[in-house]
Amino acid sequence: MKLKSRILFISTIIIFILTIFIGTSYSLWQTINVQKDNNVVTTSCFDIEFSDGNNINIENAYPISDEKGLQKIPYNLKLKNNCELGSSFKIVVNPLKSNTLDNQFIKLAIKENDNLKFTPKTINELQVNNDYETSKYSSSYTILEDNLYSKQEKNYKIYLWMNIDATNSEMNKTFKANFMIINTANSDIVSLDRKILDNNGGKEYIENKGNPDFSKASVTQAYYDKLEDKTNYTVDTGMYSTEDDYGTSYYFRGAVDNNNVIFANFCWQIIRITGNNSIRLIYNGIPDNGTCPKVYGSDPGISSDIFNNSNDNAYVGYMYGTVGSDNYNDTHANLNSSNAKTEVDTWFENNLKEYQSLLTDTLFCGDRSIAGKEGYWASDDTAKGYGNEVTYYGAYARSNFSNNSELKNKPTLKCLNKNDRYTVNDGNIGNANLTYPVALINADEIALAGGLGDIGNNSFYLYTDAYTVSMSASYFLNNTARIIFINQGGSYSIGSLTMTSSSFIMRPVINLTSYIQTIGNGTVNDPFVVKTE
Protein backbone atom coordinates (compact mmCIF):
# COMPACT_ATOMS: atom_id res chain seq x y z
CA MET A 1 0.00 0.00 0.00
CA LYS A 2 1.41 3.40 -0.94
CA LEU A 3 2.06 5.85 1.83
CA LYS A 4 0.20 8.97 0.75
CA SER A 5 1.47 11.41 3.35
CA ARG A 6 3.55 14.10 1.69
CA ILE A 7 6.99 14.31 3.31
CA LEU A 8 8.34 17.25 1.34
CA PHE A 9 7.15 20.24 -0.27
CA ILE A 10 8.88 22.97 -1.65
CA SER A 11 10.46 24.61 1.32
CA THR A 12 10.51 27.65 -0.93
CA ILE A 13 7.86 27.45 -3.63
CA ILE A 14 9.94 29.50 -6.05
CA ILE A 15 13.10 27.62 -6.81
CA PHE A 16 14.21 30.15 -9.35
CA ILE A 17 12.60 32.79 -11.53
CA LEU A 18 13.35 32.92 -15.23
CA THR A 19 13.00 36.31 -16.88
CA ILE A 20 13.45 37.01 -20.57
CA PHE A 21 13.57 40.53 -21.95
CA ILE A 22 13.50 41.38 -25.63
CA GLY A 23 16.45 43.30 -27.03
CA THR A 24 16.92 44.20 -30.65
CA SER A 25 16.31 41.94 -33.63
CA TYR A 26 16.37 38.37 -32.23
CA SER A 27 18.55 39.29 -29.25
CA LEU A 28 17.13 38.11 -25.90
CA TRP A 29 18.41 38.79 -22.42
CA GLN A 30 17.82 36.30 -19.63
CA THR A 31 18.52 36.67 -15.91
CA ILE A 32 17.98 34.23 -13.06
CA ASN A 33 16.92 35.56 -9.69
CA VAL A 34 18.52 33.13 -7.24
CA GLN A 35 21.31 33.15 -4.69
CA LYS A 36 24.85 33.33 -6.02
CA ASP A 37 26.04 30.37 -3.96
CA ASN A 38 24.67 26.83 -3.96
CA ASN A 39 21.23 26.80 -2.40
CA VAL A 40 20.73 23.73 -0.20
CA VAL A 41 17.23 22.92 1.02
CA THR A 42 16.69 20.19 3.61
CA THR A 43 13.13 19.16 4.39
CA SER A 44 12.85 16.25 6.80
CA CYS A 45 15.16 13.64 5.22
CA PHE A 46 14.88 14.83 1.62
CA ASP A 47 17.62 17.17 0.40
CA ILE A 48 17.62 19.48 -2.61
CA GLU A 49 20.64 21.37 -3.87
CA PHE A 50 20.38 24.04 -6.54
CA SER A 51 23.47 25.26 -8.33
CA ASP A 52 24.56 28.86 -8.74
CA GLY A 53 21.90 30.61 -10.80
CA ASN A 54 24.44 32.12 -13.15
CA ASN A 55 24.90 28.65 -14.62
CA ILE A 56 21.98 29.23 -16.99
CA ASN A 57 22.38 32.93 -17.53
CA ILE A 58 21.91 33.53 -21.28
CA GLU A 59 23.13 36.86 -22.55
CA ASN A 60 22.26 38.18 -26.00
CA ALA A 61 20.04 35.14 -26.50
CA TYR A 62 18.33 34.53 -29.82
CA PRO A 63 16.39 31.65 -31.39
CA ILE A 64 18.64 28.59 -31.72
CA SER A 65 18.41 24.93 -32.71
CA ASP A 66 17.94 22.09 -30.23
CA GLU A 67 21.50 20.98 -30.86
CA LYS A 68 22.86 24.37 -29.80
CA GLY A 69 20.39 24.60 -26.94
CA LEU A 70 21.81 21.42 -25.44
CA GLN A 71 25.27 22.97 -25.56
CA LYS A 72 24.23 25.80 -23.22
CA ILE A 73 25.44 25.81 -19.63
CA PRO A 74 22.73 23.99 -17.66
CA TYR A 75 21.13 24.63 -14.30
CA ASN A 76 22.21 21.82 -11.94
CA LEU A 77 19.80 20.17 -9.55
CA LYS A 78 20.74 17.48 -7.01
CA LEU A 79 18.12 15.45 -5.14
CA LYS A 80 18.96 13.07 -2.31
CA ASN A 81 16.61 10.84 -0.33
CA ASN A 82 18.00 10.22 3.15
CA CYS A 83 14.69 8.75 4.29
CA GLU A 84 14.08 5.11 5.09
CA LEU A 85 11.17 5.14 2.63
CA GLY A 86 11.38 5.54 -1.11
CA SER A 87 9.63 8.46 -2.76
CA SER A 88 8.05 9.62 -6.00
CA PHE A 89 8.72 13.14 -7.21
CA LYS A 90 7.98 15.60 -9.97
CA ILE A 91 10.00 18.46 -11.37
CA VAL A 92 7.42 21.07 -12.37
CA VAL A 93 7.52 24.37 -14.27
CA ASN A 94 4.83 27.01 -13.73
CA PRO A 95 4.69 29.94 -16.21
CA LEU A 96 3.38 33.13 -14.60
CA LYS A 97 0.18 34.87 -15.71
CA SER A 98 2.07 38.10 -16.30
CA ASN A 99 4.04 36.62 -19.22
CA THR A 100 3.79 38.29 -22.62
CA LEU A 101 6.00 35.72 -24.39
CA ASP A 102 4.10 32.54 -25.21
CA ASN A 103 5.17 29.13 -23.81
CA GLN A 104 5.71 27.79 -27.32
CA PHE A 105 8.83 29.96 -27.72
CA ILE A 106 10.68 28.57 -24.68
CA LYS A 107 12.28 25.16 -25.17
CA LEU A 108 13.47 22.86 -22.43
CA ALA A 109 15.39 19.62 -21.92
CA ILE A 110 16.66 17.69 -18.91
CA LYS A 111 19.55 15.26 -18.49
CA GLU A 112 20.33 12.76 -15.77
CA ASN A 113 24.06 11.99 -15.55
CA ASP A 114 24.46 13.35 -19.11
CA ASN A 115 21.72 11.07 -20.47
CA LEU A 116 18.91 12.95 -22.19
CA LYS A 117 15.59 12.09 -20.55
CA PHE A 118 13.40 13.16 -23.50
CA THR A 119 13.59 14.92 -26.84
CA PRO A 120 13.64 18.72 -26.29
CA LYS A 121 10.14 20.18 -26.01
CA THR A 122 8.52 23.57 -25.81
CA ILE A 123 6.91 24.21 -22.45
CA ASN A 124 3.39 23.85 -23.80
CA GLU A 125 4.29 20.38 -25.17
CA LEU A 126 4.92 19.09 -21.64
CA GLN A 127 2.29 17.13 -19.71
CA VAL A 128 -0.12 19.36 -17.82
CA ASN A 129 0.35 19.10 -14.05
CA ASN A 130 -2.88 19.19 -12.03
CA ASP A 131 -1.31 18.67 -8.59
CA TYR A 132 -0.57 22.29 -7.89
CA GLU A 133 -2.69 25.36 -8.46
CA THR A 134 -2.24 29.02 -7.64
CA SER A 135 -3.68 32.26 -8.91
CA LYS A 136 -0.19 33.43 -9.87
CA TYR A 137 0.34 30.85 -12.63
CA SER A 138 -1.24 30.63 -16.04
CA SER A 139 -0.57 26.87 -16.12
CA SER A 140 1.57 24.12 -14.64
CA TYR A 141 3.60 21.49 -16.52
CA THR A 142 5.50 18.37 -15.46
CA ILE A 143 9.06 18.25 -16.77
CA LEU A 144 9.93 14.90 -15.23
CA GLU A 145 8.42 12.22 -12.99
CA ASP A 146 10.83 9.84 -11.29
CA ASN A 147 11.52 7.84 -8.14
CA LEU A 148 14.15 8.05 -5.44
CA TYR A 149 14.93 4.93 -3.46
CA SER A 150 16.02 5.20 0.17
CA LYS A 151 19.55 6.72 0.35
CA GLN A 152 19.62 7.34 -3.40
CA GLU A 153 20.92 10.53 -4.98
CA LYS A 154 20.18 11.83 -8.47
CA ASN A 155 21.72 14.68 -10.43
CA TYR A 156 19.89 16.56 -13.16
CA LYS A 157 20.82 19.26 -15.65
CA ILE A 158 18.06 21.57 -16.91
CA TYR A 159 18.58 23.34 -20.25
CA LEU A 160 16.51 26.33 -21.41
CA TRP A 161 16.70 28.24 -24.67
CA MET A 162 14.59 30.18 -27.13
CA ASN A 163 12.82 28.10 -29.76
CA ILE A 164 14.26 28.51 -33.23
CA ASP A 165 10.70 29.19 -34.49
CA ALA A 166 10.57 32.56 -32.72
CA THR A 167 10.21 35.61 -35.00
CA ASN A 168 10.49 39.38 -34.74
CA SER A 169 6.92 39.51 -33.46
CA GLU A 170 8.21 38.04 -30.14
CA MET A 171 10.42 41.05 -29.49
CA ASN A 172 9.90 43.21 -26.40
CA LYS A 173 8.12 40.42 -24.51
CA THR A 174 8.92 38.73 -21.21
CA PHE A 175 8.63 35.25 -19.77
CA LYS A 176 8.82 34.17 -16.11
CA ALA A 177 8.33 30.76 -14.55
CA ASN A 178 8.70 29.04 -11.19
CA PHE A 179 10.30 25.60 -10.96
CA MET A 180 9.21 23.30 -8.14
CA ILE A 181 9.94 19.85 -6.71
CA ILE A 182 6.94 17.83 -5.54
CA ASN A 183 7.87 14.80 -3.48
CA THR A 184 5.65 12.07 -1.96
CA ALA A 185 6.66 9.15 0.26
CA ASN A 186 5.99 5.79 -1.39
CA SER A 187 6.45 2.53 0.51
CA ASP A 188 6.31 0.53 -2.75
CA ILE A 189 9.63 1.96 -3.93
CA VAL A 190 12.10 -0.40 -2.25
CA SER A 191 15.67 -0.88 -3.47
CA LEU A 192 16.94 -4.39 -4.17
CA ASP A 193 19.62 -4.27 -1.48
CA ARG A 194 16.93 -3.39 1.07
CA LYS A 195 14.76 -6.31 -0.08
CA ILE A 196 17.68 -8.72 0.22
CA LEU A 197 18.64 -7.51 3.68
CA ASP A 198 15.05 -7.61 4.91
CA ASN A 199 14.70 -11.19 3.61
CA ASN A 200 17.69 -12.18 5.74
CA GLY A 201 16.81 -10.52 9.04
CA GLY A 202 17.96 -6.94 8.40
CA LYS A 203 21.29 -5.19 8.81
CA GLU A 204 21.42 -5.25 12.59
CA TYR A 205 20.67 -8.96 12.83
CA ILE A 206 23.25 -9.82 10.16
CA GLU A 207 25.97 -7.65 11.66
CA ASN A 208 25.41 -9.07 15.14
CA LYS A 209 26.05 -12.64 13.91
CA GLY A 210 29.79 -12.01 13.78
CA ASN A 211 32.17 -13.94 11.52
CA PRO A 212 31.74 -17.62 10.62
CA ASP A 213 34.55 -20.14 10.95
CA PHE A 214 36.49 -19.85 7.69
CA SER A 215 38.69 -22.84 8.60
CA LYS A 216 35.71 -25.07 7.81
CA ALA A 217 33.56 -25.62 4.73
CA SER A 218 29.94 -24.54 5.05
CA VAL A 219 27.47 -27.37 4.35
CA THR A 220 23.80 -28.18 4.90
CA GLN A 221 22.63 -29.80 8.11
CA ALA A 222 21.74 -32.99 6.22
CA TYR A 223 25.22 -33.15 4.67
CA TYR A 224 26.82 -32.49 8.07
CA ASP A 225 24.79 -35.17 9.83
CA LYS A 226 25.96 -37.84 7.40
CA LEU A 227 29.67 -37.08 7.87
CA GLU A 228 31.73 -39.50 9.91
CA ASP A 229 34.53 -36.96 10.30
CA LYS A 230 33.09 -33.48 10.88
CA THR A 231 36.44 -31.80 11.57
CA ASN A 232 36.54 -29.64 8.46
CA TYR A 233 32.85 -28.80 8.20
CA THR A 234 30.32 -26.48 9.76
CA VAL A 235 26.70 -25.45 9.31
CA ASP A 236 26.55 -21.66 9.06
CA THR A 237 24.28 -20.95 6.13
CA GLY A 238 22.93 -17.43 5.73
CA MET A 239 24.05 -13.85 5.32
CA TYR A 240 27.04 -12.30 7.08
CA SER A 241 28.86 -8.97 6.97
CA THR A 242 32.42 -7.74 6.58
CA GLU A 243 34.19 -4.63 5.30
CA ASP A 244 35.18 -4.02 1.68
CA ASP A 245 36.80 -1.05 -0.04
CA TYR A 246 33.55 0.94 0.04
CA GLY A 247 32.08 0.15 3.46
CA THR A 248 30.10 -2.74 4.92
CA SER A 249 29.41 -5.65 2.58
CA TYR A 250 26.75 -8.32 3.22
CA TYR A 251 27.56 -11.71 1.72
CA PHE A 252 25.79 -15.04 1.28
CA ARG A 253 27.36 -18.20 2.70
CA GLY A 254 26.57 -21.88 2.53
CA ALA A 255 23.58 -23.65 0.99
CA VAL A 256 21.40 -20.56 0.62
CA ASP A 257 18.40 -20.75 -1.70
CA ASN A 258 17.16 -17.15 -1.63
CA ASN A 259 19.92 -15.45 -3.66
CA ASN A 260 18.52 -15.97 -7.18
CA VAL A 261 18.00 -13.21 -9.74
CA ILE A 262 16.78 -13.06 -13.34
CA PHE A 263 18.40 -10.16 -15.14
CA ALA A 264 18.73 -9.57 -18.89
CA ASN A 265 17.13 -12.99 -19.53
CA PHE A 266 19.81 -14.87 -17.58
CA CYS A 267 19.87 -16.46 -14.14
CA TRP A 268 22.31 -15.10 -11.57
CA GLN A 269 23.24 -15.83 -7.98
CA ILE A 270 23.84 -13.01 -5.52
CA ILE A 271 27.35 -13.19 -4.08
CA ARG A 272 27.01 -10.12 -1.88
CA ILE A 273 25.83 -6.57 -1.44
CA THR A 274 28.91 -4.39 -1.82
CA GLY A 275 29.79 -1.48 0.44
CA ASN A 276 28.39 0.96 -2.13
CA ASN A 277 25.02 -0.91 -2.18
CA SER A 278 25.54 -2.63 -5.53
CA ILE A 279 24.41 -6.23 -5.94
CA ARG A 280 27.29 -8.52 -7.00
CA LEU A 281 25.96 -11.34 -9.18
CA ILE A 282 27.55 -14.44 -10.68
CA TYR A 283 26.19 -15.96 -13.89
CA ASN A 284 24.06 -19.07 -13.33
CA GLY A 285 22.63 -20.17 -16.67
CA ILE A 286 19.32 -19.76 -18.49
CA PRO A 287 15.89 -19.41 -16.79
CA ASP A 288 13.44 -22.31 -17.04
CA ASN A 289 9.86 -20.98 -17.21
CA GLY A 290 10.69 -18.06 -14.94
CA THR A 291 12.63 -20.13 -12.41
CA CYS A 292 16.36 -20.64 -11.78
CA PRO A 293 16.81 -24.31 -10.87
CA LYS A 294 20.24 -25.51 -9.84
CA VAL A 295 22.27 -26.68 -12.83
CA TYR A 296 25.53 -28.59 -12.89
CA GLY A 297 28.54 -29.17 -15.07
CA SER A 298 29.43 -26.47 -17.58
CA ASP A 299 25.82 -25.22 -17.92
CA PRO A 300 26.25 -22.32 -15.43
CA GLY A 301 29.22 -21.06 -17.46
CA ILE A 302 29.43 -19.06 -20.69
CA SER A 303 32.42 -20.99 -22.07
CA SER A 304 35.07 -23.54 -21.21
CA ASP A 305 38.67 -22.59 -21.91
CA ILE A 306 42.13 -21.95 -20.44
CA PHE A 307 42.63 -18.88 -18.26
CA ASN A 308 45.84 -17.79 -19.94
CA ASN A 309 49.34 -18.94 -20.85
CA SER A 310 51.32 -20.28 -17.94
CA ASN A 311 55.08 -19.83 -18.30
CA ASP A 312 55.60 -16.38 -16.72
CA ASN A 313 54.50 -14.52 -13.59
CA ALA A 314 52.72 -12.01 -15.80
CA TYR A 315 50.07 -14.56 -16.71
CA VAL A 316 48.63 -14.86 -13.18
CA GLY A 317 46.77 -11.60 -13.81
CA TYR A 318 43.28 -11.04 -15.21
CA MET A 319 45.27 -8.50 -17.19
CA TYR A 320 49.03 -8.52 -17.54
CA GLY A 321 52.04 -6.53 -18.66
CA THR A 322 55.41 -7.41 -20.18
CA VAL A 323 56.27 -11.11 -20.35
CA GLY A 324 59.92 -11.71 -19.51
CA SER A 325 60.26 -8.42 -17.66
CA ASP A 326 62.87 -8.05 -14.89
CA ASN A 327 60.63 -6.14 -12.47
CA TYR A 328 57.23 -6.51 -10.76
CA ASN A 329 55.59 -3.31 -12.02
CA ASP A 330 56.18 -3.95 -15.73
CA THR A 331 55.18 -7.59 -15.33
CA HIS A 332 51.83 -6.75 -13.77
CA ALA A 333 50.95 -3.61 -15.71
CA ASN A 334 47.41 -3.88 -17.09
CA LEU A 335 48.30 -3.76 -20.78
CA ASN A 336 46.94 -7.05 -22.12
CA SER A 337 43.78 -9.07 -21.56
CA SER A 338 44.02 -12.64 -20.34
CA ASN A 339 42.16 -15.26 -22.34
CA ALA A 340 39.58 -15.34 -19.52
CA LYS A 341 38.98 -11.59 -19.77
CA THR A 342 38.65 -11.78 -23.55
CA GLU A 343 36.05 -14.55 -23.25
CA VAL A 344 34.07 -12.65 -20.61
CA ASP A 345 34.24 -9.32 -22.47
CA THR A 346 33.06 -10.87 -25.73
CA TRP A 347 30.11 -12.50 -24.00
CA PHE A 348 29.22 -9.22 -22.27
CA GLU A 349 29.35 -7.27 -25.53
CA ASN A 350 27.04 -9.78 -27.21
CA ASN A 351 24.59 -10.20 -24.34
CA LEU A 352 24.68 -7.43 -21.72
CA LYS A 353 25.97 -4.27 -23.37
CA GLU A 354 22.47 -2.86 -23.85
CA TYR A 355 21.87 -3.21 -20.09
CA GLN A 356 25.10 -1.51 -19.05
CA SER A 357 23.30 1.55 -17.63
CA LEU A 358 21.85 -0.73 -14.93
CA LEU A 359 25.31 -1.83 -13.77
CA THR A 360 27.71 0.01 -11.48
CA ASP A 361 31.43 0.57 -11.88
CA THR A 362 32.27 -1.32 -8.68
CA LEU A 363 35.75 -2.80 -8.41
CA PHE A 364 36.72 -6.45 -8.95
CA CYS A 365 39.80 -7.53 -7.00
CA GLY A 366 42.32 -9.61 -8.93
CA ASP A 367 44.88 -9.63 -6.11
CA ARG A 368 48.52 -9.96 -7.19
CA SER A 369 50.10 -8.76 -3.95
CA ILE A 370 53.23 -10.66 -2.89
CA ALA A 371 52.45 -13.09 -0.06
CA GLY A 372 55.70 -12.83 1.85
CA LYS A 373 59.40 -12.12 1.71
CA GLU A 374 62.21 -14.06 0.07
CA GLY A 375 62.40 -17.64 1.34
CA TYR A 376 59.20 -17.38 3.37
CA TRP A 377 57.15 -20.10 1.68
CA ALA A 378 60.03 -22.23 0.41
CA SER A 379 63.78 -21.99 0.15
CA ASP A 380 63.49 -21.04 -3.53
CA ASP A 381 60.75 -18.45 -2.99
CA THR A 382 62.03 -15.13 -4.38
CA ALA A 383 58.96 -12.92 -3.64
CA LYS A 384 59.84 -11.04 -6.83
CA GLY A 385 56.74 -11.65 -8.96
CA TYR A 386 58.32 -11.44 -12.39
CA GLY A 387 59.74 -13.68 -15.10
CA ASN A 388 60.22 -17.27 -13.97
CA GLU A 389 60.97 -16.36 -10.36
CA VAL A 390 59.20 -18.54 -7.77
CA THR A 391 56.56 -16.31 -6.16
CA TYR A 392 53.58 -16.79 -3.85
CA TYR A 393 50.64 -14.37 -3.98
CA GLY A 394 48.23 -12.93 -1.43
CA ALA A 395 45.20 -15.17 -1.99
CA TYR A 396 47.37 -18.23 -1.30
CA ALA A 397 48.50 -16.71 2.02
CA ARG A 398 44.87 -16.22 3.11
CA SER A 399 43.76 -19.74 2.16
CA ASN A 400 43.89 -22.89 4.26
CA PHE A 401 46.96 -23.95 2.22
CA SER A 402 48.83 -21.21 4.06
CA ASN A 403 51.44 -21.69 6.79
CA ASN A 404 51.08 -18.06 7.85
CA SER A 405 49.09 -18.21 11.09
CA GLU A 406 48.24 -14.50 10.94
CA LEU A 407 46.63 -14.74 7.49
CA LYS A 408 45.49 -18.36 7.16
CA ASN A 409 41.73 -18.75 6.62
CA LYS A 410 41.21 -15.00 6.86
CA PRO A 411 39.59 -13.92 3.59
CA THR A 412 39.20 -10.21 2.99
CA LEU A 413 37.18 -8.05 0.64
CA LYS A 414 39.71 -5.24 0.82
CA CYS A 415 41.99 -5.17 -2.20
CA LEU A 416 45.54 -4.24 -1.24
CA ASN A 417 46.88 -2.81 -4.52
CA LYS A 418 45.09 -0.17 -6.58
CA ASN A 419 46.57 -1.78 -9.70
CA ASP A 420 44.55 -4.93 -8.90
CA ARG A 421 41.22 -3.10 -8.36
CA TYR A 422 39.65 -3.52 -11.78
CA THR A 423 37.21 -0.78 -12.79
CA VAL A 424 36.02 0.74 -16.06
CA ASN A 425 36.09 4.50 -15.46
CA ASP A 426 36.77 4.91 -11.77
CA GLY A 427 40.43 5.87 -11.54
CA ASN A 428 40.10 7.10 -7.98
CA ILE A 429 39.58 3.87 -6.04
CA GLY A 430 40.22 1.54 -9.01
CA ASN A 431 42.60 1.13 -11.95
CA ALA A 432 40.14 2.13 -14.75
CA ASN A 433 41.53 -0.63 -16.99
CA LEU A 434 38.43 -2.73 -17.72
CA THR A 435 36.62 -2.57 -21.05
CA TYR A 436 33.25 -3.48 -19.56
CA PRO A 437 31.91 -3.69 -15.96
CA VAL A 438 32.31 -7.47 -15.77
CA ALA A 439 34.96 -9.87 -14.47
CA LEU A 440 35.16 -13.08 -12.37
CA ILE A 441 34.71 -14.08 -8.75
CA ASN A 442 37.84 -14.06 -6.58
CA ALA A 443 39.23 -16.56 -4.06
CA ASP A 444 38.23 -14.53 -1.01
CA GLU A 445 34.61 -14.43 -2.17
CA ILE A 446 34.70 -18.21 -2.65
CA ALA A 447 35.98 -18.64 0.92
CA LEU A 448 33.31 -16.29 2.28
CA ALA A 449 30.68 -18.28 0.36
CA GLY A 450 31.70 -21.47 2.20
CA GLY A 451 34.42 -23.02 0.06
CA LEU A 452 37.60 -24.44 1.58
CA GLY A 453 40.81 -25.56 -0.04
CA ASP A 454 40.92 -29.31 -0.81
CA ILE A 455 37.81 -29.98 1.29
CA GLY A 456 34.94 -31.32 -0.81
CA ASN A 457 31.63 -29.50 -0.56
CA ASN A 458 28.78 -30.16 -2.96
CA SER A 459 26.18 -28.27 -0.93
CA PHE A 460 27.23 -24.60 -0.92
CA TYR A 461 25.63 -22.38 -3.54
CA LEU A 462 28.70 -22.00 -5.80
CA TYR A 463 29.07 -25.76 -6.39
CA THR A 464 28.55 -26.76 -10.04
CA ASP A 465 30.44 -30.07 -10.46
CA ALA A 466 32.81 -28.25 -12.83
CA TYR A 467 36.14 -26.42 -12.76
CA THR A 468 35.08 -22.81 -12.14
CA VAL A 469 37.91 -20.32 -12.45
CA SER A 470 38.47 -17.29 -10.22
CA MET A 471 40.59 -14.21 -10.95
CA SER A 472 42.92 -14.76 -7.98
CA ALA A 473 46.62 -15.53 -8.46
CA SER A 474 48.02 -18.37 -6.36
CA TYR A 475 51.74 -18.85 -7.07
CA PHE A 476 54.36 -19.33 -9.75
CA LEU A 477 56.45 -22.48 -9.40
CA ASN A 478 58.25 -24.92 -11.73
CA ASN A 479 57.80 -22.60 -14.71
CA THR A 480 54.01 -22.68 -14.23
CA ALA A 481 51.64 -19.92 -13.15
CA ARG A 482 48.75 -21.11 -11.00
CA ILE A 483 45.27 -19.76 -10.27
CA ILE A 484 42.65 -20.54 -7.61
CA PHE A 485 39.47 -22.23 -8.82
CA ILE A 486 36.52 -24.31 -7.57
CA ASN A 487 37.06 -27.94 -8.56
CA GLN A 488 34.54 -30.63 -9.45
CA GLY A 489 34.24 -31.73 -5.83
CA GLY A 490 33.31 -28.25 -4.61
CA SER A 491 36.55 -27.39 -2.82
CA TYR A 492 38.77 -24.67 -4.12
CA SER A 493 42.07 -25.70 -5.56
CA ILE A 494 45.23 -24.45 -7.19
CA GLY A 495 45.94 -25.37 -10.78
CA SER A 496 47.88 -24.42 -13.87
CA LEU A 497 46.31 -21.63 -15.92
CA THR A 498 46.30 -23.92 -18.94
CA MET A 499 44.49 -26.75 -17.09
CA THR A 500 45.81 -29.66 -19.15
CA SER A 501 43.25 -32.13 -17.78
CA SER A 502 40.19 -29.98 -18.30
CA SER A 503 39.36 -26.39 -19.16
CA PHE A 504 37.84 -23.90 -16.73
CA ILE A 505 34.29 -22.70 -17.06
CA MET A 506 33.86 -18.92 -17.01
CA ARG A 507 31.06 -17.53 -14.84
CA PRO A 508 30.87 -13.75 -15.41
CA VAL A 509 30.38 -11.50 -12.40
CA ILE A 510 28.62 -8.12 -12.59
CA ASN A 511 27.48 -5.42 -10.17
CA LEU A 512 23.81 -4.52 -10.52
CA THR A 513 22.50 -1.22 -9.24
CA SER A 514 20.22 -1.55 -6.20
CA TYR A 515 18.03 1.25 -7.46
CA ILE A 516 15.93 -0.84 -9.76
CA GLN A 517 12.44 -2.32 -9.73
CA THR A 518 12.11 -6.05 -9.03
CA ILE A 519 9.44 -8.62 -8.31
CA GLY A 520 9.88 -11.96 -6.57
CA ASN A 521 11.61 -12.93 -3.33
CA GLY A 522 14.90 -14.48 -4.48
CA THR A 523 14.06 -18.17 -4.23
CA VAL A 524 14.70 -20.70 -6.99
CA ASN A 525 11.03 -20.82 -7.96
CA ASP A 526 10.36 -17.13 -7.35
CA PRO A 527 13.62 -15.32 -8.11
CA PHE A 528 14.05 -11.57 -8.04
CA VAL A 529 13.16 -10.49 -11.57
CA VAL A 530 14.68 -7.18 -12.64
CA LYS A 531 12.46 -4.88 -14.66
CA THR A 532 14.66 -3.52 -17.43
CA GLU A 533 12.12 -1.33 -19.21
DSSP collapsed to 3 states, 457-508 = CCCCCCCCCCCEEEEEEEEEECCEEEEEEECCCCCEEEEECCCCCCCEEECC
* Alpha-carbon span 56 to 73, nearest angstrom: 6
Q: Residue 135: its pLDDT value, please? A: 73
* Alpha-carbon span 206 to 201, nearest angstrom: 7
Is 274's pLDDT higher than 80? yes
Taking alpha carbons only, the member of 31, 27, 95 closest to residue 64 is 27
Q: Cβ contacts of residue 131 below 8 Å, gap of 6+?
A: 90, 92, 140, 182
Is residue 318 within 8 Å of 471, Cβ to Cβ?
yes
Taking alpha carbons only, the member of 206, 209, 207, 211 closest to residue 410 is 211
* Alpha-carbon span 8 to 329, nearest angstrom: 53
* Alpha-carbon span 413 to 428, nearest angstrom: 18
* Alpha-carbon span 56 to 213, nearest angstrom: 58
Mean predicted lDDT score pLDDT of the chain: 87
Q: How would residue 133 be classed by pLDDT, with cut points 50, 70 and 90? A: low
Pairing status of strand 106-112 against strand 121-122: antiparallel
Q: Residue 160: its pLDDT value, please? A: 87
Q: Answer yes or no: pTM beyond 0.85.
A: yes
Q: Residue 182: its pLDDT value, please? A: 82
* Alpha-carbon span 315 to 307, nearest angstrom: 9
Average confidence (pLDDT) over 5-19: 35
pLDDT tens per residue across span 207-234: 999 999 999 999 999 999 999 999 999 9
What 3-state DSSP class applies to 156? Answer: strand
pLDDT tens per residue across span 294-316: 999 999 999 999 999 999 999 99
* Alpha-carbon span 179 to 310, nearest angstrom: 62
Q: Residue 391: its pLDDT value, please? A: 98
- Amino acid, single-letter form, for residue 315: Y
pLDDT tens per residue across span 448-491: 999 999 999 999 999 999 999 999 999 999 999 999 999 999 99
Taking alpha carbons only, the member of 8, 80, 84, 6 closest to residue 40 is 80
pLDDT tens per residue across span 135-164: 778 888 999 999 999 889 999 998 988 889
* Alpha-carbon span 474 to 463, nearest angstrom: 20
> Strands, E, within 285-378: which ranges?
303-305, 319-320, 336-337, 364-365
CA dist list (Å): 253 to 234, 296, 436, 507:
11, 19, 27, 18
* Alpha-carbon span 504 to 301, nearest angstrom: 9
Is residue 377 within 8 Å of 393, Cβ to Cβ?
no
* Alpha-carbon span 86 to 191, nearest angstrom: 8
